[in-house]
Amino acid sequence: GHVPADPLGTPPAALTPAPDTDLAGLASLPAGWLAAVGPLVRPAEAPESFRVACRALDLAARGLLDAPGPVVWCRDHLTTLVLLADEFLVAQLASTTLAPLAGLSGRRREQLAETLLALVRTRGSAPELGRLLDLHPQTVRARLRKLGELFGARLDDPGERLRLELALVAERALPGGE
């Protein structure tokens, strides 16, 4: 009762300073219903929070945000929301940055992408990456050699490693990604 709401809006909306308590009832929405709770912001920023919540609803409905129940809490998905804020640009980033993997077969590409993501995230050695990926270090060394052939000095450049990580994560988040 103390939450200003617009139940007839498209989508319906409510404004509350305490979403965790005021919106607890959303957890029992009927099957097939979905709600999003935007970031907690000052009242002047409520339209932006609403915009982000609407974007989260769209992404969740398309299966690009995973929510454990009928409520998508934007605070739990900020990285994906930022990454997919412009799907066209992120697809361009993934396509151009990961071009060296384009000519590989599906399974080989997937294996190298998995190893590349672990490498750019950790900068670990073959034994460390092997433990992380549950692979024999020799398998990892072979993959690292191939990645070195494909990406060369880009693997040693911090800016390029960031681009590679963003591209790999984005590729998995985009429709048709892994």
DSSP conformation letters of 91-120: HHHHHHHTGGGTTS-HHHHHHHHHHHHHHH
Q: What does the pLDDT read at residue 63?
A: 87
Report residue 167 as tokens: 């591209």
Average pLDDT (74-93) is 92
Binned at pLDDT 50, 70 and 90, residue 50 comes out as very high
Which among 22, 52, 83 is the end of a domain? 83
Least confident of 10-14, 48-52, 79-83, 138-142: 10-14
Same domain, 167 and 95: yes
Same domain, 71 and 96: no
Q: What does the pLDDT read at residue 31?
A: 85
Same domain, 74 and 103: no
Average pLDDT (97-114) is 95
Q: Chain centroid to CA 80: how far?
A: 3
Same domain, 117 and 64: no
Binned at pLDDT 50, 70 and 90, residue 104 comes out as very high
Binned at pLDDT 50, 70 and 90, residue 78 comes out as very high
Same domain, 165 and 114: yes
Q: What does the pLDDT read at residue 21?
A: 87
Same domain, 44 and 115: no
Report residue 28 as tokens: 């029992």
Same domain, 18 and 48: yes
Q: What does the pLDDT read at residue 3?
A: 66
Residue 178 has pLDDT above 70, yes or no: no
Question: Taking a C-beta distance cutoff of 8 angstroms, is the pair 130, 140 a contact?
Answer: yes
Which among 83, 108, 124 is the end of a domain? 83
Task: Tell me whether residue 32 is in a domain.
Answer: yes
Same domain, 33 and 75: yes
Domain that holds residue 139: 90-173
Task: Tell me whether residue 178 is in a domain.
Answer: no
Q: How many CA atoms lie within 13 A of 138 on its CB side?
A: 0
Structural domain count of the chain: 2
Q: What does the pLDDT read at residue 2?
A: 58
Report residue 152 as tokens: 């060369």
Task: Tell me whether residue 18 is in a domain.
Answer: yes
Mean pLDDT computed over every residue of the chain: 90
Q: What does the pLDDT read at residue 11?
A: 81
Same domain, 45 and 110: no
* CATH number of the domain within which 109 lies: 1.10.10
Average pLDDT (23-31) is 86
